[in-house]
Amino acid sequence: MPPQVAFSAEQIIDMQRSKMVGINEEIEAAEAARAALSTNSNSKATIKVLRQAKYIAALAMTTLATDKPFNDARHAVVTTLSDLVKALETDPTPQQEKIEKAKDAIRNLLWDLKAIQELRLRRLADGDQL
């Protein structure tokens, strides 16, 4: 007797799509984290924004087909934000070195994301396929 399939192929594809993140969402999350870091606040709201940006960067690493430099930049965001959130939760005093590392990682990722977004927009304007 063949094994029972719990989900159809269409259901699995829909589940994967619901977990995917787009470049615009990734940019928005990174910009929100950058703004939160510029306030030098260690509030619960700031930590929530940082966690969301970390989550989206990690999700993008697993769901978006990109090359190694993008995933390296995403990985840097994930690790620096993880370190910073852990530090802020442990010791509420400002963690300036960790904040600066996170800002650098976010800045690099945003630069990469915006560059690829601009390239895609140019291709669309020129009528090229993505």
Concatenate the DSSP letters of all residues of 75-105 into one string: HHHHHHHHHHHHHHHH--S--HHHHHHHHHH
The residue that leads in pLDDT, 130 or 115, is 115
pLDDT in tens, 37-88: 998 677 889 999 999 999 999 998 888 766 778 899 999 999 999 999 999 9
Distance CA 43, CA 84 (A): 13
Class of domain 14-115: mainly alpha
Confidence of residue 128 (pLDDT cuts 50, 70, 90): low
What pTM value is reported for the model? 0.78
Closest by Cα among 16, 30, 108 to 65: 16
DSSP string, 39-57: TT---HHHHHHHHHHHHHH
- Identify the pLDDT of residue 19: 52
Burial classification of residue 122, based on how many CB atoms lie within 10 Å of its CB (0-12 exposed, 13-18 middle, 19 or more buried) = exposed
Mean pLDDT, the chain, whole residue set:
82
